[in-house]
Amino acid sequence: MQLYPSRTSGLPCVGDLAWGTHLCFVYPFGHPSHLMYVQSYFQAGLDAHQYSIWVRPNAVHGWWDPADRSSTLGSTTPGRVRRRLVEIVPHSQWYLDNGLPSSEKAVDSLVNALDSALTFGYSGLRVATDLTWVDEASWNGYLQCERAITERASDYRVLFLCLFPHTQSIQHRIRDIVTCHSFVLRMHDGGHECAQNKNV
C-alpha cells in the first residue's frame, strides 16, 4: 500500500515516482552517459532533502558531489557539508553475507539507512546501486535480494534505482530483471524506453 506522495525521479521519460518505487536502468555496457542520469537522479533527491546513497562494487566508503562533475568518487568531505553529498557504500557492505548475496542483508541495509536518514531529519532515502558485480554465480542470490527489496520498499519513503549494463551475456536475463522492478528504463536506438511493470 502506497503511503506517501510522488517524488521527482530526475530521469528522462520517467517523471514523478511514488515513494517505494524500485526501478531499473538498463544501459549499453561501457556507455559513459549513464553517469549523467545518475547525477540527475541524485541531484533531484538532494534538492528534495532526501538522504542519498550510491552502492558501488569494490568501492571505498566516502562521499560524492553530483553537482560537481570534476569531483572524485569516494573523496572525503567534512561532515558539516555532507547534506548536499551522496554517500558511497561498497556493495559488499550492502548486499553480501559471507561473500554471498543475502536478501536479509540487503533489506536490513535499506531499512537501517532509512531509519538513520529520518532520524537526522531527511524527508526520505534515495538509493542507486551499480550491479556490474553480478555474475552467473551470484545471479539467483541477486534476484532474491531484488524481490525482497521490491516487497519491503513499497511501504517506505524510499526510491531505489538499479543500474544494469546490458551485455550479450545477460540478454537472456532481461525478463528476470523486468519482473523484479516496478519500472524499467532502457537506452535504445539513441533514445529511451520506459515501461511500467504493473504486476509488481
| Domain residue ranges of the chain, discontinuous segments joined by + | 21-196
How sure is the predictor about 11, in pLDDT bands with cuts at 50, 70 and 90?
Answer: confident
Look at residue 176 in the predicted model and tell me its pLDDT: 81
How sure is the predictor about 198, in pLDDT bands with cuts at 50, 70 and 90?
Answer: low
Q: Which residues contact 48 (CB under 8 A, 6 or more apart)?
A: 7, 8, 123, 124
For the domain spanning 21-196, the CATH number is: 3.40.50.300
Look at residue 64 in the predicted model and tell me its pLDDT: 84
Closest by CA to 72, choosing from 84, 88, 94, 83, is: 88
Helix pair 139-153, 103-119: axis angle to 10 deg: 40
Report how many helices (DSSP H) and strands (DSSP E) the chain contains, helices first: 5, 12
- Mean pLDDT (whole number) for 166-175: 68
Look at residue 106 in the predicted model and tell me its pLDDT: 96
Look at residue 167 in the predicted model and tell me its pLDDT: 67
Q: If DSSP codes are grouped into helix, strand and coil, which group holds residue 86?
A: strand
- How far is 157 from 7, CA to CA, in rounded Å? 10
Pair 9, 183: CB distance under 8 Å: no
Q: Could you tell me which residue, 2 or 135, shows the higher pLDDT? A: 135
Q: Which of 3-7, 29-33, 56-60 has the highest mean pLDDT?
A: 56-60
